[in-house]
Amino acid sequence: MREFSKKTKMLARRFSQALFIFIFFYLLDRSDGFPLPEKLPLGFFFRMDGLLALFSSVSTGHFAVYFMPSAVLMALLVMRGNFFCYWICPVGGLIDFGNIVVVRRKWRSGIRVPAFVRKIRLFLLAGFLLTALAALFVEVPNLFWPSDPFVIITRAFVLGKGWMILFAIILAASIAVPRIWCNCICPLGCLYHYLGRAGRAGLFKKRKK
């Protein structure tokens, strides 16, 4: 029964990932035409982007209603843990499906991730926040925005060239070393991971009966 429940949960997760991958590319395709369809939420994924929401709020000193979906999502992450990276994120979904296609479980790369690599996402997240704080006082460019997963995947399929190469490297690396991008580099995943941990460790900590 427990094994059946585990398989059902995995199937539900794969369906959710496939659905959000489809939604992402559908909206991306529709945003390429003119005039833009007003009824479609073309900025859906960017509005859920906590990194962009935090940068905008901190650097301007006020919260934009445009990022309300990200505020709702972050509240849910605190209550339920980080489900976003494994059920919703199109980049994470493509990585997981890439692992299935190459039958990742049948072989092992044997590559060990150095400790400093695991801290890259913390450095990038700190860079986002510090740049946002600095922007309150002086005009500074956000040099860390190219590490945002939604920026990367959108520019890869819109602009191609160098961005597509970067995205291909992310996929290949995350297949060779499962989810190395998500676990070690992605600043958005880092933010959502710690929001989920903070909730579980504090107000919404599960208590033993």
**pLDDT digits over 132-173, tens only?**
999 888 888 888 889 999 999 999 998 888 999 999 999 999
Task: Read off the pTM.
Answer: 0.85
What are the φ/ψ torsions at residue 141 (nearest 5 degrees)? Answer: -75, 145
CA distances (Å), origin 193, targets 54, 82, 121, 122, 140? 15, 6, 11, 11, 27
Mean pLDDT of the chain: 85
Grade residue 5 by pLDDT with cuts at 50, 70 and 90.
confident
3-state secondary structure of 159: coil
Q: Taking 90 as the threshold, does the pLDDT of residue 120 lie above it?
A: yes
